[in-house]
């Protein structure tokens, strides 16, 4: 391999690196934005409950967290919670 071919190969690798870096940075920023949206939605709904207030706490042995897919906003909500959309 002469010097010209070597430089060409190195430049190709550099272009590949830049392209990969740009697409990965774009993906990271999209995922961060998505995560931010989920976090915000969770903050809005985590303390909401349609259940009446109780004088005495009543614990449950049911460890299953039930979710349902909302027909209004197409997201998952905890069972028995309202959609705010
Ligand atoms: Zn909803």
d(CA 77, CA 73): 10
Q: Does residue 39 sit within a domain?
A: yes
* In a domain? residue 58: no
What is the CA(32)–ligand 1 centre distance, in A?
A: 21
Residue 7 CA to ligand 1 centre (angstroms) = 56
- State residue 41's pLDDT score: 78
User: Is the pTM for the entire model greater than 0.85?
Assistant: no
Sorting pLDDT into bands at 50, 70 and 90, what band is 22? very high
57 within a domain of the structure (yes/no): no
Give domain status of residue 84, yes or no: no
Domain count, the chain: 1
Whether residue 83 is contained in a domain is answered as no
- Residue 20 inside a domain? The answer is yes
42 domain-assigned: yes
Q: From the CA of 81, how far away is ligand 1's center (Å)?
A: 9
How many distinct helices (H) and strands (E) make up the chain? 1, 2
- Residue 39, domain extent: 3-48+63-78
Give yes or no for a contact between 81 and 50, defined as CB atoms under 8 angstroms apart: yes
- Torsions phi, psi of 33, nearest 5? -65, -40
């Amino acid at each position: 391999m002469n010097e010209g071919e070597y430089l060409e190969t190195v430049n190709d690798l550099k272009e590949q690196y830049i392209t990969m870096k740009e697409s990965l940075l774009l993906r990271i920023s999209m995922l961060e934005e998505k995560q931010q949206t989920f976090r915000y939605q969770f903050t809005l709904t985590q303390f909401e409950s349609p259940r009446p207030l109780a004088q005495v706490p009543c614990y449950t042995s049911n460890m299953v967290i039930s979710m349902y897919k909302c027909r209004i906003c197409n997201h998952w909500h905890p069972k028995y919670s309202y959609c705010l959309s």
